[in-house]
Each structure stands twice: as C-alpha cells, then as structure tokens.
C-alpha cells in the first residue's frame, strides 16, 4: 500500500507514516512546508523551504502535492482540508482520509461540512472533537514515537514544566499552571515555545530534565506534548488537576497503526 500524508500537524503524520512503513512495510511519505513547521517536527518525509508571506511557494507546494498524489493509493490529509476537494475531483478513485486535530474543526463541523463530507474516512485526534461530529467520524488516538520519546535515567530530573505561547487559549492555562505549581509546591519552569523554541528532536532530552509536566486546561484532552512527557516517564497534571503517569496503550504507535489499518480495510471492503 502506498500512502501520502499531507501536512504534519503536531508531528502526527510523521509518526503514523514512519510506523506504517516500519510495521506494515507500506510505502509512505510526508509532505510539509517549512513555514508551518517551526520546531522541525517532520523527521520523516520532506519539507519544502518557503516563507509564510510568499504566495508563490504556497501555490507551487499545492501543485506539487497534487501532482505527487498521483502515485499513491491513499491520501491522508492532516488538518489542511482545503486541499481535499481538488484531490477528490482529480482522483475520485483514491481513498482520501480527512484527519482533524483541534481548532481546525472544533465548533466548526457544520461550517466545514461542504468539505469533510467528501472524505472516504473521517478522523479526529482527541475525543472532545467528536462533539457535533457526524456519526461516521472516528477517534484515532494521537500516536507517540516511543523510539524517540523514552525515559533517559542518566538525566537529573527536577521541578515541573509548563509550555505555552501567546495564543489567547493559553492565557487561562498559564494562570492555572501557576496556581497548580503553588498548590503542590512544585518548582515551576515556564517555557515560551515561540521565544525559546526547542527543536523536536531535542524535546525528549529536554522533557527528561523534569519530574512533572503541567498540561493545558482549555479542553478536556491531553496535548501531544503531554503524551510525549508520559512516554518519557514524567507525571502529568491534566486539565482536571488529576496527576497521571504512564503512556496509555492506545497512544503507542503500533496500536494506533493497527486501529487505522482496521478502519482503512473497513472502507476498502
């Protein structure tokens, strides 16, 4: 089976494609643009250099993606649903997967129906996104690359970590993280990921320097970074204040790939 993953939100495409190739022997690839991958998450596949402000690289990237899609059996689109209709019109016989991640669809199911209704398989990355979704949408847990994110016992662990940026949704979470750290007596390290970016390949080593990861609290779902922290052996304070540890089995890449393969086979028949 040949699968082209289009876009790489939160590194999900990167991980699925890698393990589809590793576990199933499928021919997989990922296409991404550098301007939308500031943390270099695309470790598997290719990233086209461009600038966010330039129209021409964007148009050329879309054209390249459409042309390259010709050689694949399955087109797995991650968040970038505006490319779905052109691909469906040009390749009506290919299996097209639409995989939503968060703000791209949260509260927008009715607004985006004219697009997602053309997908052959509809997926969401967190359970909360099923609210308002059509009955045929499926929750596919975010996978964590456990070859990359794993405990590093030689590193000295101390304190708690909270990561945020300037998006409004993080402001309440920042206040909540400060209150949580004070309540539990955690020494808190706050990282502004825009001002002090950590390359994705360096994240396992960075996470392993802490005991605790305080996740966001704006939706009742663990962030991808929280899952990666769990895989590294950290405890995580989740949205409801509960402290958890250990990566849930549903997020292990082999289980995610197994579930996705089952869904694909059900569509193919």
Q: Is 29 in a helix, a strand, or coil?
A: strand
- Do residues 74 and 1 make contact, with C-beta atoms less than 8 angstroms apart? yes
Q: Are residues 30 and 109 in the same domain?
A: yes
Ranges of H-type helices in 1-148: 12-19, 55-68, 84-90, 113-116
Q: How far apart are the C-alpha atoms of 112 and 101, rounded to whole Å?
A: 14
Q: Are residues 118 and 191 in the same domain?
A: no
Q: What is the pLDDT of residue 53?
A: 60
Q: Are residues 192 and 137 in the same domain?
A: no
- Do residues 121 and 139 make contact, with C-beta atoms less than 8 angstroms apart? no
| Single pTM value for the model | 0.95
Q: Are residues 257 and 199 in the same domain?
A: no
Q: What is the pLDDT of residue 68?
A: 97
Q: Are residues 115 and 245 in the same domain?
A: no
In a domain, 148, yes or no: no
Q: How far apart are the C-alpha atoms of 222 and 209, rounded to whole Å?
A: 20
Q: Are residues 12 and 112 in the same domain?
A: yes
Which class for 263: exposed (0-12), middle (13-18), buried (19 or more C-beta within 10 A)? middle
The residue to which tokens 């197994």 are assigned? 258
Residue 241's domain comprises: 160-249
Q: Are residues 55 and 183 in the same domain?
A: no
Q: For the domain that residue 184 is a member of, what is the CATH number?
A: 3.40.50
Q: How far apart are the C-alpha atoms of 262 and 138, rounded to whole Å?
A: 12
Q: What is the pLDDT of residue 51?
A: 62
Q: Are residues 139 and 112 in the same domain?
A: yes
In a domain, 258, yes or no: yes
Q: What is the pLDDT of residue 267?
A: 97
In a domain, 203, yes or no: yes
Q: Are residues 9 and 138 in the same domain?
A: yes
Q: Are residues 118 and 30 in the same domain?
A: yes
In a domain, 23, yes or no: yes
Q: Are residues 212 and 260 in the same domain?
A: no
Bridge-based pairing of strands 74-78 and 95-100 is parallel
Q: For the domain that residue 88 is a member of, what is the CATH number?
A: 3.40.50.2000
In a domain, 52, yes or no: yes
In a domain, 151, yes or no: no
In a domain, 231, yes or no: yes
Q: Total domain count for the chain? A: 2
Q: What is the pLDDT of residue 52?
A: 58
Q: What is the pLDDT of residue 57?
A: 75
In a domain, 150, yes or no: no
Residuewise pLDDT in 10s, the chain (269 residues): 999 999 999 999 999 999 999 999 999 999 999 989 999 999 999 999 876 566 667 888 999 999 999 999 999 999 999 999 999 999 999 999 999 999 999 999 999 999 999 999 999 999 999 999 999 999 999 999 999 999 999 998 899 999 998 888 788 899 999 999 999 999 999 999 989 999 999 999 999 999 999 999 999 999 999 999 999 999 999 999 999 999 999 999 999 999 999 999 999 98
Q: What is the pLDDT of residue 146?
A: 98
Q: Are residues 263 and 138 in the same domain?
A: yes
């Amino acid at each position: 089976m040949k699968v082209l993953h289009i876009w790489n939100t939160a590194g999900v495409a990167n991980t699925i494609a890698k393990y589809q190739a590793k576990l199933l022997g499928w021919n997989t690839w990922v296409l991404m643009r550098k301007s939308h991958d500031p943390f270099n998450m695309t470790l598997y596949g290719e990233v086209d250099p461009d600038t966010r402000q330039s129209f021409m690289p964007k148009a050329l990237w879309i054209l390249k993606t459409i042309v390259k899609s010709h050689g694949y059996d399955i087109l797995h689109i991650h968040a970038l649903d505006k490319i779905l209709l052109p691909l469906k019109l040009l390749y009506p016989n290919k299996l097209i997967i639409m995989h939503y991640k968060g703000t791209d669809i949260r509260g927008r199911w009715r607004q985006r129906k004219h697009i997602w209704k053309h997908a052959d398989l509809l997926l969401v990355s967190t359970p909360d996104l099923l609210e308002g979704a059509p009955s045929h949408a499926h929750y596919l847990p975010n996978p964590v690359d456990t070859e990359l994110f794993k405990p590093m016992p030689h590193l000295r662990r101390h304190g708690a970590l909270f990561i945020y940026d300037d998006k409004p949704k993080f402001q309440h979470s920042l206040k909540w993280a400060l209150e949580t750290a004070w309540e539990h007596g955690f020494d808190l390290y706050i990282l502004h990921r825009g001002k002090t970016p950590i390359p994705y390949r360096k994240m396992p080593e960075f996470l392993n320097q802490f005991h605790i990861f305080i996740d966001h609290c704006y939706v009742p779902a663990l962030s991808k970074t929280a899952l990666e922290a769990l895989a590294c052996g950290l405890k995580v304070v989740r949205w409801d204040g509960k402290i958890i540890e250990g990566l849930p089995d549903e997020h292990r890449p082999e289980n995610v790939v197994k579930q996705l393969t089952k869904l694909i086979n059900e569509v193919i028949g």
